[in-house]
Structure 1
Amino acid sequence: MNHIPGFPLSRRGLIRTGVGGTLAALGLGLGAQPASADVTPTQRFDLTQPSYDLFRSKNTHGPRVQQSFAFDWVNKFLFVATKRDGSPDSAGDLCINKMDFDGNFLSYMHLDGFGHGVAFAALPSGSGTELWIECAANTKGYGTALAPIRYTPNTTMGSPAAAAAYTPIAGATEYTCSVDPVHRRMIVRYHTSAGKRIAVYPLSAFETRSFGSPLVDFKQPAIPGTPQGYTLYGSYMYYLTGDPYPGDGTPSGDGNSYLTSIDINTGTVKQGPVLTKAGSTLHFREPEGLAIYRTDAGEARLFIGFATGLEGDRRSSIFYKNALV
C-alpha cells in the first residue's frame, strides 16, 4: 500500500473546535430515550477502495497489542491504547501511548481498572487532550461507565467508580465511545440485557456533560466476526472485525479482517462486510481500532489499526481509506 502525497497530516490547525463552555460538575448522566430525530444523510466511505499507509510497525510503551486509537485533531497527536504488560485482561489496565503522526512514541499514561479499550475519544482541550474512555471495569475487564480524563504524561491514574463517572444510557452495563470530529458527534456502543446498542450524541453533550436524549439509538445489527473497533462519520457507523493470522503469525492468505458500514438512521448494514488487505504482509496482523480524521487539505479519512509484530514485541500499524461516495 502506498502513501498518497499532497495531503500531509501537519501540526497546523485543522478543525479549531476546541472544548468550549463551562463544564458541569462530574455526575450521572440523564437516561436516554429512543431516537427522536434523524441525522442528516451524508457521504460515506467506499470500503471496496484501496487503503494507504499512515505508518507501519511503530513501537509503543509496552510490548502488548494495541486495542484502539484516537486523534486529537487540533493539537495533532495520536493516542494508542494498548494492553498493560503483566496485567490480566480482566483487570482493565490500559496504557495510553501519545504519538506523533509519523508513529513516533512521545509519552505514556497508565490507566488502572478502566476497561478493555475497544474504542475511545481524544478531545482537544486547549493545548492538552481530554480522553473520553470507559472506566470502572467489571470482572470481565469491560468499562461500566464513561469518564473524561486529562492526558497527563508518564503518570498512573486509578479508575473512578461508576457512580462518580457518566452513565448516559439508563440500564446500560458497559460503555465505549468514538468521536466524529468532522460532524462533531460522539457515538456510544453500550451493552444491555438484550445485547449491544448504538447511540449517537452531539459532541456538545460531552463537552458540557449534559446528555439528554441521543440523536439516534438502535440495536447493533448482527455482523459476523470478532469485534475489533468502530467509529462514526456523518450518518454512517463503521465496524471492524477479524482475528490475527493463525499459528505463529506468519502472513497467510488475505486474513479475515472485514469492514462494514451501517446507516445510523435505519440501523441497517449499508456496505459489507468487505475484506480489507491493508498491511496484509505484516506479521501477526490483528485488526484493532477505527478512527476518523480530516487533513488540513480537507480530505476525510477512515483510519484502520492493526497490532503487528512478534510476540513480546507487538507494534502499531495504521492505514486509511479516503474514497467517499
Structure 2
Amino acid sequence: MASHVRVSRRGLLKLGAGVAATATLATTPAKAAEGRFQLTAPSTSLIWKKALYDETVLQSIAFDNRNGHIYTLQVKNGADSNAAGHLCLSKLSLTDTILGHMYLMGFGHGVQFGVEPSGTSAYLWTETDGVSDGASFRGTKLARFKFVNGQTLTTSSSALTKYKPIAGSDNTTCAIDPSTNRLVMRYWDGSRFRYAVYTLADVKGGSPTPLSDMAQPSGLGTFQGYAAYGSFVYILTGTAYSDANPAPGNTYVTCLDLRTGEQVQRARSVAGKSLDYREPEGMGIQIVSGAPRLCLGLASGVARARKASIFYKTELI
C-alpha cells in the first residue's frame, strides 16, 4: 500500500545513502543498518510476565543500549490517571529487576517514547502537555528530561526541555533509532497520522528540518506503538484477546520504508500467544553485541495486576 511522502533534498541525500551510520548510543556499535527485519521470522522471549512498578497495562517500551536498561511507560495507578494523562515510567535491568521509577503528571498516554543515553545516565523523550481527546490525554509536544529515580514531574517542571518540531500538530510521540541517532516523530496533522524523521542533534539544537515526512497507511488496525531502525519504521497494531478477537489475536507489525513511504511488509505476530488478555503495547530496538533486535511489548494478566512481556526478532533481510 503506498502512502504520500514528502522528502526534502537533504533527506534524500541522508536517507538515500544507505543509512550506514555507526551506532553512537550503544556500548558495542550496531552493524550498519543496511537491511530490514523479516517480520515472518520467529520471536524469542526477553521478558516474561513481569510486574512493573504500577499495576496498570504496559503502554510502551524503549532501551538504553549503552547502559543495558529497559524503560517502560504505563498509565499511573489511580482511577483518574487515564483521563488526566498521568504516567508511570519504570527502569528495569535486562533480567527484569525494577531499578527505579518516575511519575509524569499530565504528560499524555505513553504510546511510545525514546531513550537517549548520556554517560551512565539516560534522557527520556516523551510526549507532554497532554490534552483530552474525550477518553484520555494525548501529548501535544515532546519533552526531554533526565531519569531521576523517585522524581515526580509535571508539565511545568524546570527539568523538562520541550520541543514542537511541527506547529499545529498534536497526538505527538517519538522513537529514537540507535543505529542512526535519528528521532522519528509520529503526529496528527489534522486529518491523518504522519511520521517525520529528524536528526536528534537538529531537534535538540532548535532547527528541526525533516529528512522525510510521510503518511501512515490507513486500515492497519488499532495503533499500539512503533520503532525505527535504519531506513525503516515498524508499526505495531492490534487489540487484547476477546470473544471477538480470540487467540492468536489480531496483532500485526507493518514495515514502512522511510525513504519512499511505501509499505514493504506486514505480518501477524503470534509472539506470546499463550498469554491471557495479551494486548500488544509498544516497540523498541535493542542492540546486543552489535546486532539489532526488533522488540515488541505485550500486556497480560487481570485488571489491577497486569504483567509485561517483551519478545524480539533478529533476522534481517
Bin of the TM-score, shorter chain as denominator length: 0.7 to 0.9
Deviation at 1:34, TM superposition (A): 5.7
Q: How does 1:163-242 map to 2 (within 5 A)?
A: 165-206=162-203, 208-242=204-238
Q: 1:253, 1:120 → 2: CA distance?
A: 28
1:243 and 1:256 in contact (8 A); partners too? yes
| Among candidates 250, 256, 262, match of residue 250 of structure 2 | 256
CA contact (8 A) 1:187 1:199 kept: yes
**Which residue in 2 is equivalent to 1:60?**
52
2:64 pairs with one of 42, 49, 72: 72
Distance in 1, matches of 2:186 and 2:212, equals: 12
Letter of the structure 2 residue corresponding to residue 267 of structure 1:
G
Tell me the TM-score normalised to structure 2 length. Answer: 0.86
The code of the aligned residue for 2:145 comes to I
How large is the RMSD of aligned CA atoms in angstroms? 1.9
Q: Identify if the C-alpha distance between structure 1 residues 204 and 164 changes in structure 2 by more than 3 Å, giving closer, same or farther.
A: closer
- Indicate whether 1:154 and 2:150 are aligned: yes
**What is the SS of the residue equivalent to 1:165?**
strand
Counterpart contact for 1:293–1:302, Cα < 8 Å: yes
Structure 1 residue 120 corresponds to structure 2 residue 117: no
Work out the CA distance in 1 between the residues paired with 2:59 and 2:221: 16
- Matched with 1:49 is 41
Task: Look up the match of 2:274.
Answer: 281
Residue 170 of structure 1 and its aligned partner are, at CA, apart by 2.5
Q: 1 CA distance for matches of 2:59 and 2:207?
A: 27
State the TM-score, normalized to the length of structure 1.
Answer: 0.84
Report the more deviating stretch, 110-119 or 214-223. 214-223
Whether contact under 8 Å (1:61, 1:105) holds in the other structure is yes
CA shift, 1:88, in A, is: 3.6
| Post-superposition offset of 1:271 | 0.2
Does structure 1 conserve the Cα–Cα contact (< 8 Å) formed by 2:45 and 2:311? yes
Q: Give how far 1:194 is off.
A: 2.3
CA contact (8 A) 2:7 2:259 kept: no
Match of 1:244 in 2: 240
Does 2:265 align with 1:268? no
C-alpha deviation, 1:217, in angstroms? 0.8
Q: CA deviation at 1:264?
A: 1.1
After superposing on structure 2, the runs of 4+ consecutive aligned residues of structure 1 that deviate more than 3 Å are none
CA distance in 1, matches of 2:197, 2:74: 25
Partner of 1:130: 123
Counterparts in 2 of 1:234 and 1:321: CA distance versus 1, 3 Å:
same
Aligned match of 2:132: 139
Q: CA deviation at 1:244?
A: 0.6
Q: Aligned ranges for residues 283-298 of structure 1 at < 5 Å? A: 283-296=276-289, 298=290
The C-alpha deviation readout for 1:187-232, integer Å capped at 9, x for no partner, is 10011112111101112224x4333311111112224210000111
User: Which one of the candidate residues 8, 17, 23 is aligned to 1:35?
Assistant: 8
Q: Give the C-alpha shift of residue 71 in structure 1.
A: 0.7
The code of the aligned residue for 1:302 comes to L
What secondary structure sits across from 1:197 in the alignment?
strand
Residue 322 of structure 1, aligned match among 304, 314, 317 = 314
- 8 Å CA contact 1:34–1:213 kept in 2: the answer is no
Amino acid at match of 1:35: S
Unaligned runs of 5+ in 2: 1-5, 19-33
CA deviation string 1:284-305 (max 9, x = no partner): 1100001012112x22110010
In structure 2, distance between residues paired with 1:223 and 1:69: 24
SS in 2 for 1:117: coil
Given that 1:182 and 1:293 are in contact with CA atoms closer than 8 Å, whether structure 2 keeps it comes out as no
CA drift of 1:309 comes to 1.4
3-state SS in 2 of match to 1:201:
strand
Q: Which whole-Å CA distance do the structure 2 matches of 1:170 and 1:155 have between them?
A: 30
User: For the structure 1 residues 168 and 81, does the alpha-carbon distance in structure 2 shift closer, same or farther, using more than 3 Å as the test?
Assistant: same
Partner SS state of residue 53, structure 2:
coil
